[in-house]
Amino acid sequence: MAVLLVSMLLLALPGMPALWLGVALYGLHLGLTQGVFAAAVAASAPIALRGTAFGLYYLIIGLLQLLAGLGAGWLWQRFGAQAAFGAGAAMAAAALLLAALRAGGGARSG
């Protein structure tokens, strides 16, 4: 999540160096996460339903990406690229915070 957050922040900045580094970090984020997500789906689904689980997973991902793309497009048209990528950074920061809170809460005992 931190790589995604940094990539979105860089993509919100003007200039080609920030763009190239932001795109590279976004690609790194995808490389780090996509295999993990697929492995989690495979590990959690019964063998007989593994194909259905992958189909449902990618259906949900596709629908959410469609909604995210529509929202980002609207932000870009209305407020500019910085707003669209800034919103992406805010979502990544919120997800990172929630993951940290969940991890911290799970480590406590009693």
Model pTM greater than 0.75? yes
Residues with Cβ within 8 Å of residue 59, at least 6 apart in sequence: none
Instruction: Look at the chain and report how many structural domains it folds into.
Output: 1
Q: How far apart, in whole angstroms, are the C-alpha atoms of residue 25 and residue 64? A: 21
CB of 8 within 8 A of CB of 88?
Answer: yes
Range of the domain at 16: 2-107
Per-residue pLDDT for the chain (110 aa), expressed as one digit of tens each? 899 999 999 999 999 999 999 999 999 999 999 999 999 999 999 999 999 999 999 999 999 999 999 999 999 999 999 999 999 999 999 999 999 999 987 555 44
